[in-house]
A and B are shown apart, each in its own frame.
Chain A
């Protein structure tokens, strides 16, 4: 694909359940970011992967949130024991690798926790 893809596009879950959100970055992009966007709000940084380096997890709001990036490509964001306040759009972005390369965003996954 030409762009960043995310799946599912929408996810409705019950409070207390675990969810996994997937991001497929642009091929060859070594940097991958996860953000959370609540309704009418800005983008909240969650986690950043760069190549084989240890990820920057400084934005993860609690230990219920975790992310992996396998093989330097696909990334999965996992939220355990979901809470209603986790409801938001989760956005993934990738970029080629240099700190000033353009960051390309996926369409996001809208998560609704009932």
Chain B
């Protein structure tokens, strides 16, 4: 079946540095992509999204890049803070169905 996967299961970054979390998707029909943050014991929380007719979208300290040619999605977090420690999921959507990837754990070194 269709799937969304991540290149790196864990990522450790120095506080203040930028973080880049990558994701590959396989369904060429996907037209909407979302990044979620999940803290321990909580449900996923929306971070940022992007439609397939865009290749970049910026939020507060976060940027999502979409490369439809290679079916790749990335989340960039600027000036990573301790509060950014969490598991990050990418998700793809088509026909209102939303499929999640396996997640990347982001840990912050002081």
Q: How far is the CB of A69 from chain B (nearest CB, A)?
A: 15
Q: How far is the CB of A104 from chain B (nearest CB, A)?
A: 7
Assess whether B25 is interfacial by the CB under 8 Å rule.
no
**When A99-B32, A99-B96 are in contact, do A42 and B43 touch as well, CB less than 8 Å?**
no
- Which one of B49, B99, B102, B103 contacts A45 once the chains associate, using CB atoms below 8 Å? B99
Q: How many residues of B contact A (CB 8 A)?
A: 23
Assess whether A84 is interfacial by the CB under 8 Å rule.
no
Assess whether B51 is interfacial by the CB under 8 Å rule.
yes
Report A-chain residues with C-beta under 8 Å of the C-beta of B51. 100
- Which one of B31, B32, B96, B100 contacts A43 once the chains associate, using CB atoms below 8 Å? B100
Query: Which of A31, A56, A105, A106 has the most CB atoms of chain B within a 10 A radius of its CB?
Result: A105
In the complex formed, the residue of A with least CB distance to B105 is A40
Assess whether B18 is interfacial by the CB under 8 Å rule.
no
